[in-house]
Amino acid sequence: MLELRRNCENCNKPLSPESTEAMICTYECTFCSECVSDVLHNVCPNCSGGFEKRPIRPKNELKQNPTTSKVVLKPVDL
């Protein structure tokens, strides 16, 4: 099951389960679309992969598989 992280790993912007701004890499590193385009230039700082929009989990599935309580914050050091 895809881990739905609650925040952008770079700027800590909240990313709700229905957010259309959430972007993930193949390892589920999670960033907001602004950081992906303006700071990271579509390259994950953790794995060097690219990003895709995170799928939106249907509300009825969120009850059984909610967002993770884990907060990942690793601001990028440019």
Domains in the chain: boundaries: 1-43
pLDDT of 63 strictly over 80: yes
C-alpha dihedral sign at 31, 34, 39, 40? positive
**Per-residue model confidence (pLDDT) at position 56:** 92
Q: Which amino acid is it at 55?
A: P
**Per-residue model confidence (pLDDT) at position 5:** 93
How many Å apart are CA 8 and CA 10, to the nearest integer? 5
pLDDT digit string (tens) for 5-48? 999 999 999 999 999 999 999 999 999 999 999 999 999 999 99
Would you say the pTM of this structure is higher than 0.95? no
How many Å apart are CA 46 and CA 55, to the nearest integer? 20
DSSP string, 24-62: E-TT--EEEHHIIIIISTT--TTT----EEPPPPPHHHH
**Per-residue model confidence (pLDDT) at position 28:** 93
